[in-house]
């Protein structure tokens, strides 16, 4: 996120292929920020990835913690619905392009990569290496190309819609 912010990123998409030690999961899912994970698998993944709350790129050294947290939450009131719309678009794009999404493709977790208060952020779980079906998809160049096109088209469509919404809000 620090690199994205420094580059002036308009959006942050974190791509993953994970594995579960227990249980079975297959298909793509898109995560947005929540303080509460949407299921046990999300909680386990968030625990592995979430090392600390994100404060990088914002100088809060002169500000009390409660004020800093309040400012971050105020920034998230704009970015959270934008992230939600982005996630919905990416789920649809992946499904239309590949036909392979998780049974509940829209998930929520407290991953650190989703905590930027100022950049709409999503985590895309392309599949699970613990699933033979997903492994086969992930190593298939045709499937990967279709997934990439689905993500790209969804992101471009979201960007147009997001810009139109921002223009309407400015009026």
- State the DSSP H helix or E strand holding residue 104, giving kind and residue range, or none if neither: strand 101-109
% pLDDT > 70, the chain: 75
pTM of the shown model: 0.80
In this structure, which long-range contacts are made by residues 163-169, counting pairs with CB atoms below 8 Å and at least 24 apart in sequence? none
- Is residue 20 over pLDDT 50? yes
Average pLDDT estimate for 117-122: 88
Least confident of 6-10, 36-40, 123-127: 36-40
- Predicted confidence at residue 61, as pLDDT, reads 58
Is there a contact between 47 and 128 (Cβ–Cβ < 8 Å)? no
Q: Is the predicted pLDDT of residue 169 greater than 70, yes or no?
A: yes
């Amino acid at each position: 996120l620090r690199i994205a912010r420094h580059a002036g990123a308009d959006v942050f998409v974190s791509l993953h292929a994970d594995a579960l030690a227990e249980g079975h999961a297959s298909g793509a899912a898109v995560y947005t920020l929540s303080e509460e994970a949407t299921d046990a698998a999300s909680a386990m993944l968030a625990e592995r990835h979430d090392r600390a709350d994100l404060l990088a790129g914002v100088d809060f050294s002169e500000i009390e913690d409660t004020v800093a947290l309040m400012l971050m939450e105020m920034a998230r009131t704009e970015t959270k619905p934008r992230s939600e719309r982005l996630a919905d678009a990416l789920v649809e794009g992946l499904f239309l392009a590949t036909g392979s999404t998780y049974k509940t493709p829209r998930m929520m977790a407290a991953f650190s990569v989703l905590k930027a208060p100022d950049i709409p952020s999503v985590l895309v779980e392309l599949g699970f290496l613990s699933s033979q079906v997903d492994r086969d998809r992930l190593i298939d160049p045709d499937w990967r190309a279709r997934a990439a096109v689905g993500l790209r088209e969804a992101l471009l469509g979201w960007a147009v819609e997001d810009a139109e919404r921002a223009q309407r809000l400015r009026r």
